[in-house]
Amino acid sequence: MKIDNLNYRTIWPVAEGVEIIDQTRLPHVFATLKLTTLQHAERAIREMQVRGAPLIGVTAAYGMALAMRESATDAALAEACRVLLAARPTAVNLRWGVERMRTVLLPLEQKQRALAAWQLAAAIADEDVAINAAIGTHGCELIRAIHQQKNATVNILTHCNAGWLATVDWGTALAPVYSAFAEGIPLHIWVDETRPRNQGAGLTAWELGQQGIPHTVIVDNAGGHLMQHGMVDLVIVGCDRVTAQGDACNKIGTYLKALAAHDNQLPFYVALPTPTIDWTLQDGVQEIPIEQRDATEVTHISGFCEDGEVRTVRLTPPGSLAANYAFDVTPARLITGLITERGVVAATNMAILKEAT
Ligand code: MRU
């Protein structure tokens, strides 16, 4: 995707290691960061300099490669897995990336591991791009069908950021948007701001703006009202983990959008690469670990001030407690379909995807 008309990925190899776009500084400052050690990669994931399930998985794979450059013993391999797996709990792509690296590296001789790790991490990054492009192609068919029926601008609501910033390129929920826009289908995107970290207001709005796609940022509670008034044609969101029974975990507030879409008979799609499926879990509400983040993300907010500085201010009275659940789970019965690289499937028919793996 483009930033100021230059093509970028969110993570790319450099001589010292890898370079990333520091997402904690967007949309106000575009800055990149070099990750040269395992600790840098772990911190980038934990502090959300990189975020979004697929990009977390790819960064973890590169983190393993960085670790193998320092030491490729069995103990170093085990330690790299331990450190990275503890960085964030909810996106299963983290475990998927780490396990995939471990499975390939463990049987190798130590002297082969550094190069093999580097090559595999790069291959996983390239795969992510190809997978997301395919999600774009399949999801575009849904948008095209709505456009053919309506013959007017298609209004899509999305939550959080599941665009190219959340992946290596293309995005998941926004890949169909980028494909449809490239086809010339008139689009308008409703962007949930996505409190408390505002990935919608800050990241989705920024990346859509960079690609020239019409969009409007709304408060998280506006979606139901827009749906009741015919201003939304479909909802597409990303996800951090889908269970074997098709329950989808995504950024907090996604479940409420699914309920509102259901009540208004609107299609609610979840876009995902198949590495986001956790075949070991069934009931997403009961079994998916939900990350709880620092309460200061709720009690405080940062923004760009007129003097050009980014400042943080407090929103709540000093004595009030705050809770910060970062994700929720939408049951399969509320999901119209899963948009994957293998096509669009019903969330209640995961068997089709299982057979294909
Ligand atoms: O906490 P974040 O910003 O990592 O959460 C991101 C999301 O919830 C995305 O919707 C999800 O990872 C899908 S990314 C393609």
Check residue 288 and give its pLDDT. Answer: 98
CA–centroid distance, residue 315 to ligand 1 (Å): 24
Domain ranges of the chain: 2-127, 133-356
Q: Which of 170, 192, 199, 325, when mutated, tests ligand 1's pocket best, judged by the most ligand atoms within 8 Å of its CB?
A: 199
- Please give the distance, rounded to the nearest whole angstrom, from the Cα atom of residue 319 to the centre of ligand 1: 31
Query: What are the helix (H) ranges across the chain?
Result: 38-46, 53-70, 74-85, 92-105, 110-150, 175-182, 205-211, 223-228, 254-263, 284-287, 296-299, 351-356
Longest dimension (CA), the chain: 63
Is residue 27 reached through a cis peptide bond, with omega within 30 degrees of 0 on the bond before it?
A: yes
- CATH code: domain 2-127 is 1.20.120.420
Please give the pLDDT value at position 357. Answer: 64
- 196, 292 Cβ separation under 8 angstroms: no
The verdict on whether 294 is a catalytic residue reads: no
- The CATH classification number of 133-356 equals 3.40.50.10470
Instruction: Tell me the mean pLDDT per 10 residues along the chain, length 357.
Output: 92 97 96 98 98 98 98 98 97 96 98 98 98 98 98 98 98 98 98 98 97 98 98 98 97 98 98 96 98 98 94 96 98 98 94 79
Residue 351: per-residue pLDDT:
85
Cβ-count burial 245-262 (b if 16+ within 10 Å, e if not) = ebbbbbbbbbbbbbebbb
| pLDDT at 352 (0 to 100) | 83
Q: How far apart are CA 97 and CA 54, in angstroms?
A: 9
Residue owning tokens 């939900």: 290
Pocket of ligand 1, beta carbon within 6 A: 51-54, 91, 160, 162, 166-167, 171-172, 199, 238-240, 250-251, 326
Full-prediction pTM beyond 0.95? yes
